[in-house]
Structure 1
């Protein structure tokens, strides 16, 4: 219900469609909608209250509004005036901040209802509920979660951005991506981190460390590790692990751009500590072998890497780093080395030529701090 008489006409600027010149005029609140007067030689526009949309929710202290209307798709109307905004909130309550909040809550309940149904259906079918939920999530949500996880896991380490190294990394990633089902895009990042490590995070994002590149004796070894992490990404293992360990509600909130307080800062640590099941590791290995074969890269590099991992475990014992060590979070290297050795030979070529391999190993010649990233 209106609070009283309508305010005097307010200054407005009307744009009929994108690219059209703006027209100055006045806007007033009529009986059925916003009435726009652009001068005697221009037609009068009336936008009914029920068809109005606002670029931003109209808050109690608003001093102007930017409106669109289903009555004139593509047009926009900017109106100045605190009294106009306050009265419009009463006549078109669906434009208020409270209404926007309620719509968001309804969206959450609707989304949770859908996910609950998916979980129940997955349970009946004997499928992992967390993985079923991960598959149902929009790509943009997984990308947000992946960014938050990657930033958490690499905190304190600079990203390596030497142009020649990045170009070599892109060529290797594109070569391995030839065999990726469904053309899933992968984004690979290298960090100036001495620990030998590699991990996949949600949204098709993969992290390699300088320590892993330094300890790899050939591009085929690095390609094998990268293919393995791509295998985790293909199976959505990172998303499923976070949903299981971090909780569905908190995971959805960060995917939607929200925050959950201090707990969110530890999402990367939680993912690293959770690790993957032996079944998940075997799935990733299977994909790695398929990707390497599709790219005409020998799997022997991956087998050699597993063999050297076993030696490192034996030599370092309890002194081996724990939480983020590639070989501590990827069990059974002996079994996996045997799996690779059982693969039939096929025509292959090095994952990178000598020049590209040196460029990739030197990728940390140039770095940037997290706050410098765009």
Structure 2
């Protein structure tokens, strides 16, 4: 193997960079991957270890994900498909042949799905007038239909991307009482789920939490500190779980970007521009009043089923409703609008379920004290 090789393009996610990634070039030097970006006119380099994690990347599995841990998060380089992928493989060390081969097999499987679904879409494209009429007259039904066609496994890949961006943009707390508590409550709230949930606690002072498609739930340390009881925190987690289970994030993305977003997730055919637009829309998504009402009701139902006192959800909503009048309301209100009416509705629903309730086996003072 030569000491250096030709360069190949891709997209880099790393701490300190834009959350949706930046264009980058890679090159093999003495058997080590070096990734370069232009940052404000200055070239910056990231040196991968000798054995980075190599796997199929991107929604069509044609990209290659090369990842390794770094200070403040994780570095993940997505090698472009085609010539860039070929240049990567031509000079890579022999030790990476096995994971690279697995990625190639995954790409061939997705390619077979492409042929089938592009044939379906080509047939649909012959009926543009009907499609336009459906979008105008029954847009919601079309979106719901498109979302139902997307397998949970494909939706999980979208969540993986949001997860990678979260790790690149924020400091994730990987262990400790807070992480254990969030996972414990989350698993109680999701029996029999079709998602593979990833429960994250991030070191962020804002009172915030969000759910991404495919079962990624991110809870800010500031939110945990702002609760008085574990039941209040469970109420927030239940609400976010409801968004994930009802696939609100996926529905919102398809509505905001059009059916091309649904087709992209379904087929795994995502260009860099669509990828960036989709993940940005997910991180900044504001749900409709209807979606929020559905998530409230479904979250409360899950708390009752888990024998967690749903009054905790109502108490937390009371807090948000009160703080919404402040000059600097909680960050959660930017995507989850609160109101005294919502709090009252939740309290009325909670009152219909007298219990008995389990006492959550969590030392909440210790949980909060463990946070930075």
Q: Fold match, TM over 0.5?
A: yes
Residue in 1 aligned with 2:250?
239
Distance 2:205 2:160 in 1: 21
Distance 1:101 1:189 in 2: 29
Indicate how the Cα distance of structure 1 residues 313 and 103 shifts in structure 2: closer, same or farther if over 3 A, else same: closer
For the pair 1:196 / 2:202, whether they are aligned, the reply is no
- 1:101 to partner: Cα distance: 11
- 1:237 to partner: Cα distance: 0.5
Residue in 2 aligned with 1:107?
116
Tell me which of 131, 148, 154 is aligned to 2:144.
Answer: 131
TM-score for the superposition, normalised by structure 1: 0.60
Tell me which of 185, 195, 216 is aligned to 1:205.
Answer: 216
Structure 2, unmatched stretches of 5+, are 1-82, 87-107
Q: Quick check: which has more Rg, 1 or 2? A: 1
Instruction: Judge conservation of contact 1:131–1:237 (CA < 8 Å) in 2.
Output: no
TM-score for the superposition, normalised by structure 2: 0.60
Instruction: Judge conservation of contact 1:191–1:364 (CA < 8 Å) in 2.
Output: no
Distance 1:168 1:187 in 2: 13
* 3-state SS of paired residue (1:173): helix
* 3-state SS of paired residue (2:238): helix
Residue in 1 aligned with 2:360?
352
CA RMSD of aligned residues (A): 3.9
* 3-state SS of paired residue (2:228): coil
Structure 1, unmatched stretches of 5+, are 1-58, 62-98, 366-374
For the pair 1:333 / 2:339, whether they are aligned, the reply is yes
Indicate how the Cα distance of structure 1 residues 158 and 293 shifts in structure 2: closer, same or farther if over 3 A, else same: same
Distance 2:124 2:244 in 1: 21
For the pair 1:229 / 2:235, whether they are aligned, the reply is no
- 1:250 to partner: Cα distance: 4.7
* 3-state SS of paired residue (1:291): helix
Distance 2:182 2:287 in 1: 26
Indicate how the Cα distance of structure 1 residues 248 and 231 shifts in structure 2: closer, same or farther if over 3 A, else same: same
* 3-state SS of paired residue (1:207): strand
> How many residues are aligned here?
265
